[in-house]
Chains A and B, each alone.
Chain A
Amino acid sequence: MKILIKGGRLIDPANSIDDQLDVLIENGCVAAVGTNLDSDNAQVLDATNRLVVPGLIDVHVHLREPGYEYKEDIQSGTRAAVAGGFTSVACMPNTDPVNDNKTVTSYICQKAAEVGLATVFPVGAITKGLKGESLSEMGQLREAGCVAVTDDGRPVDDGEIMRRAMEYARSFDLPVISHAEDLAIVGGGVMNDGFVATELGLKGIPWVAEDAMVARDVMLAEFTGARLHVAHVSTRGAVEIIRAAQKRGVAVTAEVTPHHFTLTEEAVRGYDTNAKMNPPLRSADDVAAIRQGLADGTIGVIATDHAPHHRDEKNVEFNIAMNGIVGLETALPLTLRLVEEGVLSLSEAIARLTCGPAQALNLSRGSLTVGSIADVTVIDPECAWKLEAEELLSKSKNTPFDGWSLKGKATNTLVRGKIVYNSDEV
C-alpha cells in the first residue's frame, strides 16, 4: 500500500523544512520526501494549496475510558482527535479505575489499537489512586506502555512524595508531568482571582497558587535530575520561573492550552460555565506572558487538556460546574490564529504541535524524516468555518468557542500510513 501526497507545502520543523515537496508513504513509513516524486501504483493525495505536516501530537487529553464513558471513550475521543488533525494523543490517568497499574494501561493500549484511529500513549499515575500517598509501579507502567507519569487533575501536595516520585521516575526515564497548584492557596476558588471575580462575587484562584507549585517542582527537578513537564501553564510567573530554570539547564518543558492563550477571565462574565476550567482563564497580562513564552520557545508545546464533560455537569450554577472544555477539534485553528496575529511563524506553530510535544514526552513521532512512522496531517490553512458545538465529534460539547468563526482545518489525517480521516467523507 503506497500513498503519494503531491503538491503540498511541506512543513517539518524537526528537519527545518518548509518547501514545496511531495511525500511518498510505503508500508506505514515515510519512504521518500522530494520534488516531483512519482510512483506507479500509489494512491495519489492531491495537496495543492494545502500544508503537509507531521501528524499533530496532543500530550494532554482526557479520554475518560475506563469509567466515565458517558463523557467520552477511546473511540469517540480518538475520532475527535483525527478530525482535529491529531495522530497521537497522550491520555491522562484520572479514569476509574485510575491508570496506576499495568492492567489499566494494557486495556487502554489494546482498546486504542482495536479502534485504530489515533495512536494513544497512556500516561500513568504518579501515586496510587491519585491519592498523593504512595508511588505507583512506574517500572511496570512503562513496560505496559506508559510514556510519562502525572496525577493530573490534582497536584502532588506532599513535597517528599514529589521528590521521591522524580527520583524514582528517573530510573525509568519517565518524564514527570506536574499539575501545578497549591491547593491550600487555591482555597475554594472557582475562577481567576482578580477584578472580574471580585465583581462577579466568585471566589478567586490567585496566580501565586500556580507559581508557588511550579517553583517547587522546578527546584525538585533541578535537585533530582528528573525530566519535568509542566502541564497547562497559565500565569506570567510560571512562564518566568520555567524560562529561568531552562537557562540554568534544568530539564523542564512546558505546555499551554489554546484556551489559555486565546481567552481571558473576561469570558467568565455572564457566569458561562464553559469558561470554567482549571487552571482558570487568567488576566490579559498573563495571556501576553504566555504568548511571549510560546514565541521565545520557553513553552514548546501546545496541548488541549481536552476535558469532556456531560451537559448536566456544565448546565448548573457556576460554583458547582465541572472544570474543563473539549479541545481536540479547535486546537489547530486557534493555534493558526497565533500565526495570523504575528505571535508565531507558521513553522513555529507547527513545531508546538509536533516535534515540541514529541520531545517533551520522548515520543518517536513528530517528524517526516525518511524511515519514520508515517503520521501525517494535511491542512487547508484557508478553510473558513464556523464552529457548531453540536457538530463536534467528541461525545461532549462543552466549548466556549461555539459559534466562533475559525480558519484552518485538517483535511486528511494519516496514522501509520493509513488515511483515518478525510474531511470530504464526513
Chain B
Amino acid sequence: MSFGHKHILGIEQLSADDITLILDTAESFKEVSTREIKKVPTLRGKTIINIFFEASTRTRASFEIAGKRLSADTMNISASTSAVVKGETLEDTAKNLEAMHPDIIVMRHGHSGAPHYLAERCGFSVVNAGDGAHEHPSQALLDLMTIREKKGTIEGLVVAIVGDIAHSRVARSNIYALKKMGATVRLAGPGTLLPTEIERMGAEVTTDMNTALDGADVVMMLRIQQERQGKALLPSNREYSRFYGLNPENLKLAKADALVMHPGPMNRGVEISSAVADGAQNVILDQVENGVAVRMALLYLVSGGEQLAEQSA
C-alpha cells in the first residue's frame, strides 16, 4: 500500500493501515542504526529543517539523527536563535523558510495548531514534533512500535495513561493511536488535570490510579509539567506522588509482565519512583531507540516513500 500523506500533523488524520505501514517501515529502518556505517542514501539531496520553538533535547536529536541516517541535509533552528525573539511572526518565519526551498520542516511549537498553520500556507511537508497540548504524533508512534515489539500486537491490550492529561500532547496522540489499533485506553489523573469531556475520545477515565492500573498490560506515565501547573492545579509534589506516582507496590496491580513507559524527561520520585524507572519492566530506553527508527520512517514516507526507492533502484 502507499502512504497518502504529505504532512504528519497528528495521529487523528492517520488510519490504522497508515499506522501499520509506518511501524513496518520503522522496523525495516531500525537495523540501519546498528550498522557500522549508519547511513542509507534514501533522502540524499533532500533538505530537512528542524525548527524548535520550545526546548527539547531528545525529540530534536532523534529527528536530526533520523534525517542524517537517511542522508538528508538537516539543520536545526531553535527558538533562542530564531527571529521570533525579535518579534517575527510565524507567517514571516514560514515565508523565509520557504524561500530556502526545504523539503521537510519538522516543527515543535508551544501553540496548538501552529504546524497546521504552516502546512496550510507553505509548499513543503510539515512534520509535527509537538504542538502545544494538542498532538505529538512521532512520540505515539514510537510508543506503539515499542509495545508491538514487546507484546507482538496492540489489539486487545489494556493501556493505562497516568498523570497530567490536560497538558499532554503525548496523551492525546496516544489515545488516538491506541484506539485505532484496537487497544483499551484508561486515563487516570487528579480532576484538575483531566480535561473536559476527555472520555469522548474513547477512553475510560478515572481519578483513581489503582483502578487504571488494575490488570493493565502497559502503564504509560506522563511527566508532571511543573512549568504549566500554575497556582491551583496541584497542592504539592509530595501529595501528587502519594496518589499518582508509580512505585513497585502499585505496579503490582498491573499484569506481572506489564510494560512501564515514560516519554521523558522523568521527574524521579514524583510521577515515577527510581525503583520502577530503573526496574525490569521499564522499556523507556527502547522507546528512545525506536524513536529514531519511527522518525526515519516518517521522513521517508512524507518524502514520497516507494517512489524514492524506485528512483534510486
Q: Is the CB of B116 within 8 A of A316?
A: no
Shortest CB–CB separation between residue B166 and chain A, in angstroms? 8
Q: Is the CB of A317 within 8 A of B113?
A: yes
Check: B61 CB closer than 8 A to any chain A CB: no
Q: Is the CB of A320 within 8 A of B111?
A: yes
Residues in A neighbouring B195, C-beta threshold 8 A: 197-198, 204
Given contacts A200-B113, A202-B112, A270-B116, contact A317 B197 (CB under 8 A): no
Shortest CB–CB separation between residue A192 and chain B, in angstroms? 9
Check: A40 CB closer than 8 A to any chain B CB: no
Given contacts A194-B196, A206-B196, A319-B112, contact A199 B201 (CB under 8 A): yes
Q: Is the CB of B114 within 8 A of A317?
A: yes
Q: Is the CB of B169 within 8 A of A201?
A: yes
Q: Determine the distance from Cα of A195 to Cα of B197 in the docked complex, in whole angstroms.
A: 5
Of A198, A202, A316, A320, chain B has the most CB atoms within 10 Å of the CB of: A198
Q: Determine the distance from Cα of A201 to Cα of B134 in the docked complex, in whole angstroms.
A: 4
Of B12, B89, B195, B198, chain A has the most CB atoms within 10 Å of the CB of: B195
Check: B278 CB closer than 8 A to any chain A CB: no
Check: B109 CB closer than 8 A to any chain A CB: yes
Q: Determine the distance from Cα of A271 to Cα of B10 in the docked complex, in whole angstroms.
A: 14
Check: A168 CB closer than 8 A to any chain B CB: no
Which of B116, B135, B172 touches A271 (beta carbons < 8 Å)?
B116
Q: Is the CB of A204 within 8 A of B196?
A: yes
Which of A201, A206, A315, A316 touches B112 (beta carbons < 8 Å)?
A201
Residues in A neighbouring B89, C-beta threshold 8 A: 312, 315-316
Shortest CB–CB separation between residue A39 and chain B, in angstroms? 58
Q: Is the CB of A201 within 8 A of B132?
A: yes
Q: Determine the distance from Cα of A138 to Cα of B147 in the docked complex, in whole angstroms.
A: 68
Shortest CB–CB separation between residue A201 and chain B, in angstroms? 3
Check: A193 CB closer than 8 A to any chain B CB: yes
B-contacting residues, A148-203, CB 8 Å: 187, 193-195, 197-203
A-contacting residues, B123-164, CB 8 Å: 131-135
Q: Determine the distance from Cα of A202 to Cα of B166 in the docked complex, in whole angstroms.
A: 10
Of A187, A200, A204, A317, chain B has the most CB atoms within 10 Å of the CB of: A317
Residues in A neighbouring B86, C-beta threshold 8 A: none
Check: B200 CB closer than 8 A to any chain A CB: yes
Q: Is the CB of A194 within 8 A of B197?
A: yes
Q: Is the CB of B132 within 8 A of A202?
A: yes
Check: B90 CB closer than 8 A to any chain A CB: yes
B-contacting residues, A294-335, CB 8 Å: 312, 315-320
Smallest CB gap from B111: residue in A: A317
How many residues on chain B are close to A (CB under 8 Å)? 25
Smallest CB gap from B136: residue in A: A201
Instruction: Give chain B's interface secondary structure class.
Output: mixed
Shortest CB–CB separation between residue A320 and chain B, in angstroms? 7
Given contacts A202-B132, A315-B91, A319-B112, contact A197 B196 (CB under 8 A): yes
Kindly state the interface size class of chain A when it binds its partner: 20 to 34
Can you list, as one digit per residue, whether each of B105-127 has a CB less than 8 Å from chain A (1) or not (0)? 00001011110110000000000
Residues in B neighbouring A198, C-beta threshold 8 A: 195-198, 200-201
Given contacts A201-B133, A202-B132, A204-B196, contact A317 B201 (CB under 8 A): no
Smallest CB gap from A319: residue in B: B111
Residues in A neighbouring B133, C-beta threshold 8 A: 201-203
Q: Is the CB of A318 within 8 A of B196?
A: no
Can you list, as one digit per residue, whether each of A3-22 has a CB less than 8 Å from chain B (1) or not (0)? 00000000000000000000
B-contacting residues, A202-243, CB 8 Å: 202-204, 206
Smallest CB gap from A188: residue in B: B230
Shortest CB–CB separation between residue B89 and chain A, in angstroms? 6
Q: Determine the distance from Cα of A202 to Cα of B196 in the docked complex, in whole angstroms.
A: 11
Smallest CB gap from B175: residue in A: A199
Can you list, as one digit per residue, whether each of B76-101 has a CB less than 8 Å from chain A (1) or not (0)? 00000000000001110000000000
Residues in B neighbouring A317, C-beta threshold 8 A: 90, 109, 111, 113-114, 117
Q: Determine the distance from Cα of A203 to Cα of B196 in the docked complex, in whole angstroms.
A: 10
Q: Is the CB of A201 within 8 A of B135?
A: yes
Residues in A neighbouring B230, C-beta threshold 8 A: 187
Smallest CB gap from A192: residue in B: B196
Q: Is the CB of B112 within 8 A of A271?
A: yes
Q: Determine the distance from Cα of A312 to Cα of B87 in the docked complex, in whole angstroms.
A: 13
A-contacting residues, B1-48, CB 8 Å: 12
Q: Is the CB of A200 within 8 A of B134?
A: yes
Residues in B neighbouring A197, C-beta threshold 8 A: 195-196
Residues in B neighbouring A203, C-beta threshold 8 A: 133
B-contacting residues, A371-412, CB 8 Å: none
Q: List 23 A-B contacts (CB under 8 A).
A: A194-B196, A194-B197, A195-B196, A195-B197, A195-B200, A198-B197, A198-B198, A198-B200, A198-B201, A201-B112, A201-B132, A201-B135, A201-B172, A202-B112, A204-B196, A206-B196, A271-B112, A315-B91, A316-B90, A317-B114, A317-B117, A319-B111, A319-B132
Known: A194-B196, A319-B111. 11 other contacts (CB 8 A): A198-B197, A198-B200, A198-B201, A200-B134, A201-B112, A201-B132, A201-B133, A201-B134, A271-B116, A271-B117, A317-B114
Residues of B with Cβ closer than 8 Å to A?
A: 12, 89-91, 109, 111-114, 116-117, 131-135, 169, 172, 195-198, 200-201, 230
4 closest cross-chain pairs (CB), A and B: A201-B134, A271-B113, A201-B133, A317-B111
Residues of A with Cβ closer than 8 Å to B?
A: 187, 193-195, 197-204, 206, 270-271, 312, 315-320
